Amino acid sequence: MNGKDMLEWMNDLDDKAVVDADVPPIRVKKRNGWKIGISVAAGVLAVALLTYVLYPYIKGKKDGKPDLSQGSDAPISQSESAIETQILKVFEMAAPVYPESRSLQKTLEKDYAYAQYYTDITRMVLSDKVGENKVFSPLCMYMSLSMIAETSDGNTRQQILNILHQPDIESSRESAKSIWLSNYMDNGEDKLLLANSLWTNSGWTYEQGLMDLLASEYFASSFSGDPSDPDYSSAYREWLHEQTDGLLDEFLGDAQLDPGMVMTLVSSVNFSGKWVGRFSYPEEGVFHGTSGDVTTPFYKSDAGIRTYTGEHFISADAKLEGNGSVRFILPEEGMTPEQLLEDEELFTFMNDRVPEWDALEPTRRDPTVMKNPTLVMPLVDFSSGFEMKKYLRKMGVTDAFDKSRSDFTPLSQDGQGDLFISAIEHDARIMIDEDGCRAVAATIGTIGYGEPIFYDQIVLDRPYIVEIVSESGLPIFVGIVNNIE
């Protein structure tokens, strides 16, 4: 079977077969009792088998491994990232130079395009699977879609830019890099790590210039190897392990590159932070979940807790030490988190980087009121997976998945009709305990309706929304806790 026949055979695979072959499903995971000092939400977005059946980047027929020594004149610098281990360097085509954390520029400026994108995609994804626990990283998907836009043109590119609310590819590129630079952080304890990688088939010759562009503008590493080579899959697993601190090994620890794949693109987000004040004084309580009542320990803290009152929700914001915060959003009685997603005020608040927090102060009537209310929460540890193709189609991205209409001519003049995306899978995990949380999120401006209600205690004993916000105020992870398992 020659290269062209292989491409056509791969194009004829139905979506289910591709997903079954490439992306092991990730299901909700019960808390397994092992303790960690920092709870973690790790988001990995695998644009699995981005089989834009790489007639893109492809300059020639399947005729052996590319001569990497004849790539771009631009030097490939040694990365300071831990992922650049020796086994990875064997397959490396292009590597980004990660800036030092102290050199990054933090900004609290509102990104209106990201706010619109965040609202649209969060509603689309979290409204599905009603009654289940689910967690999603809009930031992780944003980075991947931005990279895909670089490889497409015409209506295919425009549909992706429409989702990102970007007028052109230059604006999209600038926005993605700005978000990366203003949020990436690693001080040895707390961190927000963003990483991208492309895994290509060495049986094809790829455009080195594209790999260099993705390395410089999106900090993406590119690798080339034989997908049937165990060492190549081992390097792939090592990259996933390092970028997620091994927290997804239960699901991705035995991941293999499909021998028939042309390219797999992976983006990951890794966030961790410690509470300003540790949650303590656990007491048994009942969480009223969609699957029934569950007795579980609840932990309390009043350190760094702020509240916001909406017309249909109350939010408690728990501050992290120099690395953003976590917002716990409790719908009004009788309303589910999924129903609350339709509330316009909710997203005004969630996208607000500097909300007008309720000022809980002592009064003549009750002079003992403390300035900070108490947040009472259960511990959570779960993961979820989404096949993103159906959501993106509903949002208007259709051509990229249809080889008869896809346009990837920027990669190859012969690319139109041969390049398409076969599957996009998003997997994430969130862990919140008495010591802290790890994840990514971003939030932008809010003005509440109605009069604020001053709570002295917020108890998360029924389904709620959780949002993780970076130090810059950007929403990076969002999820719904419907059950405690």
Which residues, in sequence order, are CB contacts of 14 under 8 Å at separation 6+? none
Contact 148/166 with Cβ under 8 angstroms?
Answer: no
pLDDT, tens digit, 9 for 90 and up, residues 435-448:
878 543 222 222 22
Calculate the CA dihedral of residues 342, 443, 30, 301 and round it to 10 degrees: -110
So what's the pLDDT on residue 223? 86
Residue 138 CA to residue 163 CA, distance in Å, equals 12
Residue 43 CA to residue 46 CA, distance in Å, equals 10
Q: Which of 353, 309, 295 is nearest to 475 (CA)?
A: 353
Average pLDDT over residues 336-363: 85
Contact 269/42 with Cβ under 8 angstroms?
Answer: yes
So what's the pLDDT on residue 295? 96
**Residue spans in the chain of domains classed CATH 2.30.39.10:** 280-380+432-481
pLDDT, tens digit, 9 for 90 and up, residues 50-61:
433 333 333 333
pLDDT confidence of 13, banded at 50, 70, 90? Answer: very low
Residue 321 CA to residue 336 CA, distance in Å, equals 31
Pair of tokens at residue 218: 């999106």
pLDDT, tens digit, 9 for 90 and up, residues 187-218:
777 888 888 888 887 876 667 777 788 889 99
Pair of tokens at residue 117: 């994108």
- Architecture in CATH of 3-107+140-272+385-431: 2-Layer Sandwich (3.30)
**How far is CA 159 from its chain centroid?**
20
For the chain, the distance separating the N- and C-terminal CA atoms, rounded to the nearest angstrom, is 49
Q: Strand pairing of 191-201 and 220-225?
A: parallel
Pair of tokens at residue 122: 């969060």
Q: Which of 127, 189, 108 is nearest to 354 (CA)?
A: 108
So what's the pLDDT on residue 235? 86
Phi, psi for 151 (deg, rounded to 5): -95, 0
So what's the pLDDT on residue 42? 40
pLDDT, tens digit, 9 for 90 and up, residues 256-315:
777 777 677 888 888 998 998 889 888 999 999 999 999 999 999 988 888 998 999 999
Three-state DSSP class for 32? Answer: coil
pLDDT confidence of 67, banded at 50, 70, 90? Answer: very low
pLDDT confidence of 138, banded at 50, 70, 90? Answer: very high
So what's the pLDDT on residue 438? 52
Residue 367 CA to residue 213 CA, distance in Å, equals 61
What is the third-level CATH fold of 280-380+432-481? Alpha-1-antitrypsin; domain 1 (2.30.39)
One-letter amino acid of 243: Q
**Residue spans in the chain of domains classed CATH 3.30.497.10:** 3-107+140-272+385-431
The answer to whether residue 318 scores a pLDDT higher than 80 is yes
